[in-house]
Structure 1
């Protein structure tokens, strides 16, 4: 699916066909989209292949007069095999004089929201660098939005663990920790991209220093939030790991104490069960006496263990 978006005073307006200096937004491209990009706009095929790589890192690349800028943006994951709630995917912005093309192989909430935001706030995008910077800014906003959801998930998992420590809750927190690692790597990569773009456009009229500073501030806030949540999650998992270890030690201590307590009557019964003279065969209440002695010794053992808090 592709859109032809032209920026006017009231934000991006969708057109029915491509015009110079308009933004071609391509999401989940099909064969018709590939044909339009490569044959009509002459976008390098290598750029499209690079963006298709799920693990592609934020970077820039020049080929002829084309500039490829790859960013990573957050997306929610539904029914993922590993259960990760959020991940990051690459989006490529390819520019060449009066051509601006963005390609993303995944459906995202960020791009429609960004387009609607420009209309709602009457944002005017002056040039291709403005568009790239505003997309980075929007990605930082969505990182922060998803981080709030992650924080709520962490709090919910903590409450579940306080009630009963289960493997499912610990695995849930581990998946959230993995998501934070993805977010942290992508945010830092996007932040590095700012410096590269600044060096590329520093001698042009495209550079808006104030906008670039705003983008850097938002990225640093997102990066700081990721680090804080990651530290909280790491500390929480370490604390619950210690609790689990202590619980296992307590259970093993009780089991050992119980085994020792039960071993005393078992030992007595073993002695008096031997086929030898025990000098009690003529005593009328020998069985009761042996049972009473076993119970008494077990009770004394229990009291001793209770005093040293092994029970």
Structure 2
């Protein structure tokens, strides 16, 4: 069992349901809270020092987006959740980063979990859980650390681009999830490039000691993307068929667009998955061919030296009565026979196209 799974088991085992316990590894992450409050005429953008500063925006007629970074600050999350009457199980799920994408319906809000994927500077895939709470006129988002894919959403709010300032909170949730899904395309595109580069290396015979490790890493990345995308399709499908008053009919068509994007990404992932299996087969075939070439060379060398060794063995025996031993040119005759055998066998192997 990995260290991460062991830590998770120790934290969760025997805990009372609804216990708000952070299960991630970023225990020293700084708390960061940003707030956007907007309507079609104006907007307010603030960097909050504490969650209490957001309380006054709950009853406003405008749409409010509160984005909290730092799931390790469970007390602040609990304070914010208490103010918005969030269920203890929701708060528990927010700080438990091992959840699959899902949607839960409550009386006056929806709770959604999505996986945000991106590559870091070392081209290693990073998966981060993002939790959303959709209320009548607000969206709460919870992230483990700073850095996300929502910069375009912030600009659309600031500069009144598109429909976001004219729509309600359900549309805001849509563009936030859509930003995550759109970033899946960037992830899968880079993933496809890595697979194609590895395929070219294997096909050209440029195999190193890290080739097997690279193939296994790509398999893990594909499985990670697949685990993030396939459950999310079920979540978006629930949005389409939802009759909750928080999701307006004119917004449902936008969620259908997300579902179409997820279907396209899923198809790409299935293709890449097949390519990875093909890469493994190609790698094993290449290794087998190289081994066969080595064995063929060794077999030819052994076949050539078997008769030469036989002759040398015969005349290396210590019998007193061997007529050839006393022949004046016996040494040169043996060498001649051995050379003729050597050249004759080379010609034979060449004619058979074994060389």
Do Structure 1 and Structure 2 share a fold, with TM-score over 0.5? Answer: yes
Whether the 8 Å CA contact 1:68–1:93 is kept in 2: the answer is: yes
Q: Which runs of 5+ in 1 are unaligned?
A: none
Which residue pairs with 1:140 in the alignment? 181
Which residue pairs with 2:134 in the alignment? 95
Which residue pairs with 1:192 in the alignment? 234
State the Cα distance separating 1:163 from its structure 2 match: 5.2
State the Cα distance separating 1:293 from its structure 2 match: 1.6
The more displaced of 172-181 and 115-124 is: 115-124
2-structure distance, mates of 1:278, 1:49: 96
1-structure distance, mates of 2:41, 2:162: 4
Label 1:203 to 1:67 Cα distance change in 2 as closer, same or farther (>3 A).
closer
2-structure distance, mates of 1:50, 1:96: 17
Which residue pairs with 2:40 in the alignment? 9
Q: Is residue 2:65 matched to residue 1:23?
A: yes
Root mean square deviation, CA, Å: 2.9
2-structure distance, mates of 1:46, 1:141: 29
User: Could you list the per-position Cα deviations for residues 85-135 of structure 1 after superposition, in whole angstroms to 9, with x for gaps in the alignment?
Assistant: 224332111234445311121444313343235546344163343233222
Q: Is residue 2:348 matched to residue 1:307?
A: no
Compute the TM-score of the two structures, normalised by the length of structure 2. 0.75
Whether the 8 Å CA contact 2:134–2:140 is kept in 1: the answer is: yes
Label 1:167 to 1:67 Cα distance change in 2 as closer, same or farther (>3 A).
same
2-structure distance, mates of 1:216, 1:86: 23
Label 1:275 to 1:25 Cα distance change in 2 as closer, same or farther (>3 A).
same
Which residue pairs with 1:231 in the alignment? 274
The size of the alignment, in residue pairs, is 307
The more displaced of 282-291 and 4-13 is: 4-13
Which residue pairs with 2:286 in the alignment? 243
Q: Which runs of 5+ in 2 are unaligned?
A: 1-31, 48-52
State the Cα distance separating 1:74 from its structure 2 match: 0.9
State the Cα distance separating 1:70 from its structure 2 match: 0.8
Whether the 8 Å CA contact 1:9–1:122 is kept in 2: the answer is: no
The more displaced of 93-102 and 280-289 is: 93-102
Which residue pairs with 2:197 in the alignment? 156
Q: Which has the higher contact order (CA 8 A, sep 6+)?
A: 1
2-structure distance, mates of 1:296, 1:65: 96
**Corresponding residue SS for 2:323:** coil
2-structure distance, mates of 1:292, 1:53: 83
Whether the 8 Å CA contact 2:71–2:95 is kept in 1: the answer is: no
Which residue pairs with 2:148 in the alignment? 109
Label 1:256 to 1:97 Cα distance change in 2 as closer, same or farther (>3 A).
same
Q: Is residue 2:164 matched to residue 1:124?
A: yes
User: Could you list the per-position Cα deviations for residues 211-259 of structure 1 after superposition, in whole angstroms to 9, with x for gaps in the alignment?
Assistant: 1222122222222222233333433443343222222212212211112
The more displaced of 87-96 and 182-191 is: 87-96
Whether the 8 Å CA contact 2:135–2:169 is kept in 1: the answer is: no
